Structure 1
Amino acid sequence: EPLKQLTREFPRLRLDLSFGDENPDLIAAGADLALCIGPLADSSLVARHLVDWHFVLCAAPGHAQLAKPIERPEGLSGEGYIAHTVRERRFNDRLTHHLTGEALPLPRPRIRVNNMQVAIQLVQDGVGYGLLPEPEVREALRSGRLIQLLPQWRAPSFSVHALAPSRDTMPAKTRAVIDSLQQWFDDISEAMPEVG
């Protein structure tokens, strides 16, 4: 949606998109902007916070993890856990009970993947269960293509930032893209249901 708006509003704007889950070297790549989901590494980049995304623990209908009811993270099978990793580290794989505040780790993953879209697809295909970003799986949860596991337990949330090279003045095109992304994330956030 933000790209559609930008191409309409700025017909002469040219975009070169590159997708990956690794932290980009914007200066070496000659890029004007990157989106980062998760913890920021220390850098000389200028970061603008766009939104915090909640993650939900999900499985596909019929997955073995749904065969018996579970009420606590200890009841999860480590055999089915798919973890998203970035540069040899996992995100904070802990669940916190929404009433008691008790925090417990998820099992050691059987599958690690460095691309969130692949993780989402593997979970939707029934290969395993995983912590997935709620905005990206919201429709699958609504339609029943995915089921939330342990709804009384909250998964971590992660910040989304726009990153730009450190410059004295930011190009107008980069500011326009960041503003458009900010508006889109604001709209998505207003539509987010309460998690947990």
Structure 2
Amino acid sequence: MNNIISKSCIIMAKTDDLILFAQVVEEGSFSKVAELNSLTNSVVSKRIKRLEADLGVQLLYRTTRKLTVSEAGKVLYQGAKNVKQAALEAIDAVYGYGESVTGHLKMSVPSISGDLVLAGAVAEFCSMHPGFSVDMSLENSFIDIVGDGYDLVIRTGYLADSSLIARHLIDSQWVICAAPAYIKRFGKPMTPEDLINHNCLQYAYQTTGASEWEFKGINGNYIVKVAGNFSTDNATALRKAALGGYGLAYVPKCLVYPDLLKGDLVDIFPERVGKKLGIYAVYPFSRQPPLKIRMLIEHIRERYLSIAEYF
């Protein structure tokens, strides 16, 4: 018990020192960190030594020419940088709330999230800030954010372009579902491999392929290749086909969550579907993004989290 209390006290008292330590590792210099934080070199040095003393390990090896991170320091840095990032995001989320938000913003969002949460969230944000307007496009095509002149895009999947900044909003779990009428007529697949004998409705808007359905396995995720007589790039059309009892659908859980609750659709493989994608707010790189973008992103994130059970 005393050991737990001691660790808790260290965490509470040393958050600032952890952030300072992360900066020292990233900058590779006490003097640079001292300048960034308006401190003296000796203060930075004392705070790092105090952190080392509290933890009982050496974090840095210091010479007149070089600063080297110890093995313990490397381990601590992985957590310390997360503390630093969380602090920056918390500050960024509320920075400038006393200022007015005006101007115009062009954004693009995927159709499922647009219908479910984003249309209402963005319209609400505009009503909260007179003088601010948004042109929001609901589309599933992959756009050129910078080339097409977008200020903000909501994306599901992975961020490949390093010239863009992404803020994680929530994770989207996928499910495989079918109507009770389909199950009554054709039976319920008991294993993922049974899907090869079923009509699998295919969602063409997928980065991994409409016919490649991902599952969790003992040795990691694996793919089952499926086939079916209906494919579409429209999520609403796919949902309607599944509700009509025409086949099994592999879709984001948020699309069919109310249908699952009502029993109009059945979750075929709960806990076994391997596909889970992050939903991100993405915008062009800038050292300090505009206030209107920061505040809108935070508003959108809160709305996602308010219905987290859908995802």
The total of aligned residue pairs comes to: 190
Q: Which runs of 5+ in 2 are unaligned?
A: 1-119
Relative distance call for 1:109 and 1:42 in structure 2 (3 A) is: farther
Larger Rg: 2
Q: 1:138, CA displacement in angstroms?
A: 0.9
SS at match of 2:167: strand
Between 1:127-136 and 1:75-84, the stretch displaced more is 75-84
SS at match of 1:153: coil
Q: How does 1:131-170 map to 2 (within 5 A)?
A: 131-151=250-270, 153-170=272-289
Query: Which of the pair is proportionally richer in helix?
Result: 2
CA contact (8 A) 2:179 2:242 kept: yes
SS at match of 2:180: coil
Q: Does 1:106 align with 2:224?
A: yes
What is the alpha-carbon distance in structure 2 between the residues aligned to residue 75 and residue 37 of structure 1? 29
Relative distance call for 1:172 and 1:51 in structure 2 (3 A) is: same
TM superposition score normalised by structure 1: 0.81
Between 1:53-62 and 1:115-124, the stretch displaced more is 115-124
Q: Does 1:125 align with 2:273?
A: no
Give percent identity, aligned residues only. Answer: 23
Which has the bigger relative contact order, CA under 8 A and spacing at least 6? 1
CA contact (8 A) 1:73 1:105 kept: no
Q: Does 1:36 align with 2:158?
A: no
Q: Does 1:172 align with 2:300?
A: no
Q: Which runs of 5+ in 1 are unaligned?
A: none
Q: 1:63, CA displacement in angstroms?
A: 1.7
TM superposition score normalised by structure 2: 0.54
SS at match of 1:142: helix
- Which residue in 1 is equivalent to 2:181? 62
Relative distance call for 1:108 and 1:67 in structure 2 (3 A) is: closer
Relative distance call for 1:155 and 1:89 in structure 2 (3 A) is: closer
Q: How does 1:65-76 map to 2 (within 5 A)?
A: 67-76=186-195
SS at match of 1:167: coil
What is the alpha-carbon distance in structure 2 between the residues aligned to residue 95 and residue 146 of structure 1? 20
What is the alpha-carbon distance in structure 1 between the residues aligned to residue 278 and residue 185 of structure 2? 30
Q: 1:157, CA displacement in angstroms?
A: 0.6
What is the alpha-carbon distance in structure 2 between the residues aligned to residue 87 and residue 55 of structure 1? 12
Q: Deviations over 1:146-189 (max 9, x none)?
A: 11112352331110011111223322221121111111122222
Query: Which of the pair is proportionally richer in strand?
Result: 1
Q: Does 1:96 align with 2:247?
A: no
CA contact (8 A) 1:65 1:80 kept: no
Q: Does 1:17 align with 2:145?
A: no
What is the alpha-carbon distance in structure 1 between the residues aligned to residue 130 and residue 139 of structure 2? 26
